[in-house]
A and B are shown apart, each in its own frame.
Chain A
Amino acid sequence: MSHAIRKEALRALVGSWLAEGKRVAGPVAVGPGRVLYQPLVSPERLLLDGFIRTVNSIKAFVFPRHEELYAYRFRGRQVELIDAPLPEEEQIVIGARPCDAAALPVLDHVFRWGTPDRSYERRRELTTVVTLACREYDDHCFCTSLDSGPRDERGSDVLLVEIDEETYEVVWLTSKGKDLFVRHTERADRKGTIGTGPKRKFDAAALERFLAENFESPVWETFALRCLGCGACAYDCPTCHCFDIVDEGDRHGGMRVRNWDSCQFALFTLHASGHNPRTAQAQRIRQRIYHKFRIYPDKFGDTLCTGCGNCSRGCPVHLGIRPVLEAISALERKPQSAPPKTP
C-alpha cells in the first residue's frame, strides 16, 4: 500500500497553498528550453516534466543571492544599527530535483558550524521541500558517480515518484511534509518506479586518491585557458555557498548586505594589500574541485557536490565539474600518460 496523488490534484493542491497565501516556488519556463525555480504566482505555470533540470537551484530559497544583514544610520557622530528582520514566511518548494534537495543537508554543515547563521536557520525551518524523483537524465547528470541517484531522499520532506502518466506516489519523509499532503492523497496499490539513473561517469575513489597527491598537477592547466572566469557554475550550483559582505549606502547611512560570490572570479581572493594568492584560472579551477571533493569532506564528512551537472549546463564554454573529473579519472586509469596537452 502506498499514498498517491493524481497530477491534476497536485496542481489543485498547489493552487490551494497559493490561495492560503503561502509562498510557493517551483520550476517555471522563462524562455524556450529554459526552466528556472521561481516563486509561483499561479499553479498553471508550475512545470513538472518535459525538462531535465532547472538552470538555477533551490539553494536560493534558503540562501538568497542578496540578503540584508542590518542597516546603519549616521546620527552625528553616532552610528545607529538596525537589525534586518528575520524571515517569517513559510515557503514550499515543489518539484525540486533530488540533486537540489540533497544539497540542503550538505549546506547545513557550514551554515550551522560554529555560530549558526540565523537567517539561514530560519529559512531552513520555514521551508518544506517537495521533491520529484527523476525519470530522465542528460549527459551532464552524474549523481550516480557520487553515491546519489534519481530518488535520493536527503533533504526532502516529501518525495514524489511517478507511478504512471497521471499519478505520483507520495512518500512523506518528515512530519512537515506529511502535514502538507496527508489529507490530499489516495491509497494506491502500486509504487512509483524509477530507473537507475545516469551511468557512472567517473570513479569517486580514484578521484580521492588523485586529490591526495596532485595539488600540483598539469591537469589543472588543462581547462584553464578555456575557462572565462565567470560565476555561472557557482551560481547555478546547489551547493556553492560563498558570499561577499559589502556595505551599500551613502553619507546618511546604508545597508550591510551579503551577496553570492564565486571562487572563479579573479578578484575573489584579492587582498586589501593588493596581493592575490590565486592569480591564474588554473588555481581557481583547482580550488573549486578541492573545496568540493577534499576540503569540505575532510571538514564535514560530506562531498560539496550532488552531481546535478548544472555547472556544465550553465557554462558558456561547456566546462564544469564533470569534464574535469572525467579527465582526472582517465589519468588515474593510465597513471603513466601525460594529461591531454590541448584542452
Chain B
Amino acid sequence: MSQNNGFDPKIIAYVCNWCTYLGADLAGTNRLEYPASVRIIRLPCTGRIDFHLIVKAFESGADAVLVSGCHPGDCHYTAGNFHARRRWTLFRALLDVLGIEMDRIHFTWISAAEGRKWQEVVTEITEKTKALGPYRAYRRICEGGA
C-alpha cells in the first residue's frame, strides 16, 4: 500500500442491496481479500441511485465512484437496473462534456454469487485510481468559493 507516496484512494461504492451488497458480503465470508479503500453505501436498487449521489461523492472528496447492481434481468424490482442503465448512459455524456475524469466512475453488475468479481473489481479500481492520484480537480471546484 505504500506505493504512490502512500496515497490511499477514497472510493465510494453505491451498491444494490439485493446483489452487489451480498456479493461483497460473500467475498468477506470467503475470506477474499480486497483493498480497504472502498466505502460501501447500500441502496435498495440501482434504480434508486440518483445522479446527485455521484456528484455528492465527488463533493465529499471521493477519488473514484463505483456504482454496482444486478445483472440485466435479475432486478428485484423487475426493471430498476434497466432504468438506471439508460440514465447512466446519458449521465456519462454530461460528465464527459464537463471534463470530469471518466476513469474515476465505474459501473458494474455483480450478483450475490459473485464474491470473486467484487474482489477483482475493487482491486482493479483501487489500482487504477492509485495510478490516477487524488481527484484534485473536483476538490478545487469545491474549494473555489464564489
Contacts and interface: CB of A to CB of B under 8 A. Distances in A.
B99 interface: no
B58 to A, nearest CB: 15
Contacts of B145: 66
Interface string B124-146: 00000000000000000000011
B97 to A, nearest CB: 19
Report the interface size class on chain A.
under 10
Contacts of B146: 64-67
A247 B145 CA distance: 15
Nearest to A68: B145
Report the interface size class on chain B.
under 10
A62 to B, nearest CB: 14
Contacts of A67: 146
Nearest to A259: B146
A66 B145 CA distance: 8
Interface string A38-75: 00000000000000000000000000111100000000
Interface string A59-100: 000001111000000000000000000000000000000000
B12 to A, nearest CB: 14
Nearest to B146: A66
B8 to A, nearest CB: 20
A64 B145 CA distance: 11
A146 B39 CA distance: 61
Contacts of A65: 146
B39 to A, nearest CB: 15
A64 B146 CA distance: 8
A318 B146 CA distance: 28
Interface in B33-80: none
A213 B146 CA distance: 42
Contacts of A64: 146
Interface in B91-146: 145-146
B145 to A, nearest CB: 7
B143 to A, nearest CB: 12
Contacts of A66: 145-146
Nearest to B60: A250
A67 B145 CA distance: 9
A53 B19 CA distance: 59
Nearest to A60: B146
A66 B144 CA distance: 12
Nearest to B56: A250
A67 B146 CA distance: 8
Nearest to A64: B146
Please name the 4 residue pairs, one residue from A and one from B, whose CB atoms are nearest each other, closest first.
A66-B146, A65-B146, A64-B146, A66-B145
5 contacts: A64-B146, A65-B146, A66-B145, A66-B146, A67-B146
